[in-house]
Amino acid sequence: MSTPTRQRIVEAGAELLRVKGYTGTGVKEIVALAQAPFGSLYHHFPGGKEQLGEEVIRWSGQMYGMLGPAVFDPAPDVVSGVRDFFAGAADHLEETDWQDACPIATVALEVASTSEPLRIATADVFSSWIDGLAPRFAAAGIPQARARELAIAMIAGLEGAFVLARAWRSKEPLHVAGEVAARAVQDALAA
């Protein structure tokens, strides 16, 4: 069964936004990659690029949100899960020639001051990741308020490390941020 046109457009938009950002991606490019007629974009997204961008952000956020359980569930403990998460991100970024970092952060940096719907979508995605991560830390024995702080710090460290890693073309920022995050979780568990 073939993928419906609307979903192909969302997936094509996600792929292009991940690599080129929101402003660097054109709607003609998206429909071409989706192998969809140009008019189908406005049929499915009457609000145009901004509406499509919002949906792409939310869809991508859900897809990337699945990485947490995929990495943390098989880890022997939460500290190892943190290290594995950052190591996997570093390896993936290098394997994609420093292009495939976090599309949510890329879009947030570009449009948070110019598009309220896209700002809200990126904020919602970041919040959902934090809300998924904090209970994992709390379940390991960290008090709930501290678990939330650690989740925020981990996402902030990850996103900042992506920026440095892409600029430097080096995994070092992700390894350093991952080790700092892992030690913070370890210290919170010991407290």
Residue 164 has, within 13 A of its CA and on its CB side, a CA count of: 14
Containing structural domain, residue 115: 66-190
Distance CA(37)–CA(39), nearest Å, equals 6
**Which of 75, 98, 89, 119 is CA-nearest to residue 170?**
98
Helix %, strand %, coil % of the chain (to 5): 80, 0, 20
Q: What's the pLDDT tens digit per position in 3-26?
A: 899 999 999 999 999 889 999 999
| pTM confidence score | 0.93
Q: What's the pLDDT tens digit per position in 95-152?
A: 999 988 888 998 999 998 999 999 999 999 999 999 999 999 999 999 999 999 999 9
Distance CA(84)–CA(87), nearest Å, equals 5
**Which of 14, 4, 44, 33 is CA-nearest to residue 125?**
14
**Shared-domain flag, residues 35 and 75:** no
pLDDT-derived band at 74 (thresholds 50, 70, 90) equals: very high
CB atoms within 10 A of CB 145: 10
Q: Over range 165-191, report the average pLDDT.
A: 97
Residue 59 domain-assigned?
Answer: no
CB atoms within 10 A of CB 85: 23
Alpha-helical segments (H) within 21-115: 27-34, 38-44, 48-65, 67-72, 78-95, 103-111
State yes or no: pLDDT of 1 exceeds 90: no
What value does the mean pLDDT of the chain take? 95
The pLDDT of residue 3: 85
Percent of the chain predicted with pLDDT > 70: 99
Q: What count of residues does the chain have?
A: 191
Tell me which DSSP letter residue 79 carries: H
CATH code of the domain covering residue 148: 1.10.357.10
**Shared-domain flag, residues 44 and 73:** no
**Shared-domain flag, residues 35 and 86:** no
**Which of 8, 5, 13 is CA-nearest to residue 103?**
13
The pLDDT of residue 36: 95
CATH code of the domain covering residue 31: 1.10.10.60
**Shared-domain flag, residues 118 and 42:** no
**Which of 110, 112, 117 is CA-nearest to residue 50?**
117
The pLDDT of residue 172: 98
State yes or no: pLDDT of 88 exceeds 90: yes
The pLDDT of residue 52: 96
Q: Over range 65-79, report the average pLDDT.
A: 96
Percent of the chain predicted with pLDDT > 90: 93
